[in-house]
Structure 1
Amino acid sequence: MKVGITEVAARAQVSEATVSRVLNRRQGVSKKTRDVVERAMAELGYERATQGQLVAVVTEFISNPFFAGVAERIESALAPHGLKTILCPAFPGGVQEREFITSLVDKGVAAVVFLSASNTVEGADTETYEMLRARRIPYVGVNGQFADDVPAPVFSTDDELAAELAVDHLYQLGHRTIGMVSGPSGNHPADKRVQGFISAMAKRGIEDAERWVIRQSYTVEGGQASASMLLALGATAIVAASDYMALGVIRGIRRQGRSVPRDVSVIGYDGSMITEFLDPPLTTVRQPAERLALEVGRSILALVGNRHVPNGELLFDPELVIRSTTAPPPSP
């Protein structure tokens, strides 16, 4: 016999309306009552309908521990409320991203999270967002501002503050020839990190900071290629726009016969757990992954429950984690 909400209500000793509110994640149900209903559904083997239970998390960098960690935390925040996350690996703004969303819309997707996806790309096609709005499917962005005509909540680490923290640390150590390796132009987070770097350098009387910025891909190879160029300019310290780029920077420094941090200091960005176990452990600016994911989860639950969430970008402060890849510059 198929189990319905009538049987669940009888087992939990609540009304069918209460069971319905739990199933649809509505307000007005206490945690205690919600737990009783969830337990009754589990005991009876009640199966939630797939329709409207899926949340797509679209991201490019699955191999990057930071993005994998954020996706996992979003899953943990949504799972207790009956929402199932689906990870959609796609190149930001590419055809694959649109095809993922189109397929999932037909399956009954409840919401979409753009985790450093097309929301990071300057001039990205808005067709996917327009389709979601037309279907009344809510979506949010993480670390990447949507275009002005795309109204949606966005939750980002303050990239400009991250650059300020890195430059300040190196400047306090005595470095003056500080370089930066960042992502490609037109990538919103990369652009903001560069803006923050230039501003932080100018604040300290270094006006030609643009020539110390190298734009490359967010990869180990991109960091390695950038390191060679910055070392040729005489940099004694390098700020990388990701931990992966920082790994490439360190490799590039070592391949030129220099050491970190004795000859050149290096700072990463993201703060994934593996950075603590590198040799030497990486100084990095840590993104608040836990708080970002928690806020994304809260907002998704509110949006699928037809509650208001403010549009626009909400910024979260990063944290400088000082380890062993930064030191005073070498003596002349």
Structure 2
Amino acid sequence: MGKKVTIRDIARLAGVSVTTVSQILNGKGARFSKETQKRVLKLRDQYGYVPDFNARSLILRKSSSMIGVLVPDISSPFFGTFVKGVQQVAQHEKMIPLIFSANRDPELEQSYLSQMISRSIDGLIIASVTMTTATIDRLIGSRDIPYILFDKNYAQRGTRVLTDDYRGGSLAAQYLVDLGHQRLVVLRPQQQSENFTQRMKGFYDTLEKNGIHLDQERDVVIEPLSRPGGYAATDAVLKSDATAVFAGNDDMAIGLLRGLAEHGVKVPQQLSVIGYDDIYMDEYVSPRLTTVRQPILDLGTGAAKLLLSKIHDEHAAEQVRRFPVELVVRDSTAAPRAEKMIKFD
């Protein structure tokens, strides 16, 4: 046979029904004769038959054993690690994760979510800045599909995982203040999700408690939440008289480190830089990046475990699982020194 062999081909060659072949191939053929079982298995091996997953699900009236995972940007080290955590749990539970990366496009997010729902998956893990529970429920409709939300929007209802972003921002601010920094610059995106807003609020509030006020025009640089965004912020940072920079995430911080290096600015001797997330790249840039650690892998495994509990128990109560954050001090921060950064006008 030149074309792909189907279960119907095996059934026809064996002289039995499709259901008989399906049950034998799935270890449920004990009620059939040994001769029939051997004939089916021999034909499977002879023609290299591989079961079609969707057809198998329909024949056996079983769920597809798939979970859908929607993230803003799979190329981000943060979401790459998050998905790795989901995959670890899925592999252990013999589930297949379908990963969709929407490139931070709200329309694409809804399109991908609709596609996942149409594939009769068992559950969803959704990380979205813009998608509300009302939108998700509308797309799911009458289908009974459990889902877990990732921490982008604190106002969401339903089961979700999140971290204490307010405390994370506060930890970063207090650490810089304790080092002796009084003049600081913040890098942040134009559009802020709720968790990012909380992160910034924790930072600003803690500075205020220590008698330090940031001017939103002078001390806040707005660029995309990415390495190119951090790199693009370099000129604005160089024009300031700051001794320390708090970048909204590690990607921005790493982009800024490159920009500063190209201008001959020594970190942390002339300028301290602190990020947020603790992505794996922090250990491999120079200087190694001080940051606020989110347990990214644990967030992924936690989301997957919560989803599985909802899949296995449709009456499971809604949960909000919070994960701790912590300061990780490396080489990119130090007390302000007499050696000033050259100020560019």
Specify the TM-score bucket, using the shorter chain as the normaliser.
0.7 to 0.9
Offset of residue 159 of structure 1: 1.3
Residue from 112, 120, 123 that aligns with 1:111: 123
Give the secondary-structure state (helix, strand or coil) at the position aligned to 2:186: strand
1:263 equivalent to 2:283? Answer no
> 1:111–1:137: 8 Å Cα contact kept in structure 2?
yes
1:184, distance to aligned residue in structure 2 (A): 2.7
In the alignment, the residues of structure 2 paired with residue 208 and residue 280 of structure 1 have an alpha-carbon distance, to the nearest angstrom, of: 26
**CA shift for structure 1 position 216:** 2.0
Q: Are 1:140 and 2:160 matched, yes or no? A: no
Identity of aligned residues (%): 26
Aligned equivalent of 1:170:
176
The answer as to 2:67 corresponding to 1:67 is no
Q: Deviations over 1:140-166 (max 9, x none)?
A: 111212655xx3212112111111111
Distance 1:276 1:67 in 2: 18
SS across alignment from 2:273: strand
Q: CA deviation at 1:207?
A: 3.0
Contact residue 183 and residue 218 of structure 1 kept, 8 A: yes
Alpha-carbon distance change, 198 to 308 in structure 1, aligned in 2, over 3 angstroms: farther
5+ residue gaps, structure 1: 12-44
In the aligned structure 1, how far is the partner of 2:115 from the partner of 2:235? 44
Deviation at 1:281, TM superposition (A): 1.0
Question: Comparing 320-329 with 249-258, which one deviates more in the overlay?
Answer: 249-258
Kindly indicate whether residue 308 of structure 2 is the aligned counterpart of residue 291 of structure 1. no
19, 22, 31: which is aligned to 1:2?
22
Matched-pair contact (CA < 8 Å) for 1:184–1:190:
no
Q: Distance in 1 between matches of 2:103 and 2:268?
A: 35
Considering only CA atoms, is the larger Rg found in Structure 1 or Structure 2?
2
What secondary structure, in the 3-state scheme, does the structure 1 residue paired with 2:307 have?
A: helix
Aligned mate of 1:159, from 165, 172, 189: 165
Shift of 1:285: 1.3
TM-superposed deviation, 1:125: 8.8
Give 1:202's aligned residue: 208
CA spacing shift, 1:301–1:136, aligned 2, 3 Å: same
Q: Which moved more, 1:295-304 or 1:182-191?
A: 182-191
Cα deviation, residue 190, structure 1:
2.2
Distance in 2 (alpha carbons) for counterparts of 1:326 and 1:311: 41
Deviations 1:37-90 (A, max 9, x none): xxxxxxxx9977374321111112211222111101111112222321011010
Structure 2 CA distance for aligned equivalents of residues 78 and 254 of structure 1: 42
Deviations 1:227-266 (A, max 9, x none): 4223323111111111110011112323333111110001
Corresponding residue number in structure 2 for 1:302? 309
Structure 2 match to 1:31: none
Does residue 1:215 correspond to 2:218, yes or no?
A: no
- Measure how far apart 1:308 and its partner are: 4.5
For the aligned residue pairs, the C-alpha RMSD in angstroms reads: 2.8
Shift of the 196–146 alpha-carbon distance from structure 1 to 2, 3 Å rule, reads closer
Cα gap change, 1:146 to 1:85, in 2 (>3 Å): farther
Code of the residue aligned with 1:78 in structure 2: it is A
Does 1:58 find its partner at 2:39? no
2:125/2:304 contact within 8 Å kept: no
- Asked whether 1:127 is paired with 2:135, we answer yes
In 2, Cα distance between equivalents of 1:5 and 1:146: 47
CA distance in 1, matches of 2:24, 2:327: 52
Cα shift at 1:202 = 0.9
Shift of 1:104: 2.0
State whether residues 149 and 160 of structure 2, in contact with CA within 8 Å, keep that contact through their aligned partners in structure 1.
Answer: yes
TM-score by length of 1: 0.79
Moved more, 130-139 or 172-181: 130-139
Q: Which runs of 5+ in 2 are unaligned?
A: 1-20, 32-50, 341-345
> What is residue 84 of structure 1 aligned with on the other side?
96
Task: Give 1:269 deviation, angstroms.
Answer: 1.3
- Corresponding residue number in structure 2 for 1:42: none
Match of 2:5 in 1: none
- Between 1:262-271 and 1:250-259, the stretch displaced more is 250-259
Is the CA contact 1:145–1:154 (under 8 Å) kept in the aligned structure 2?
no
Structure 2 letter corresponding to 1:143: D
Q: Is 1:273 aligned to residue 285 of structure 2? A: no
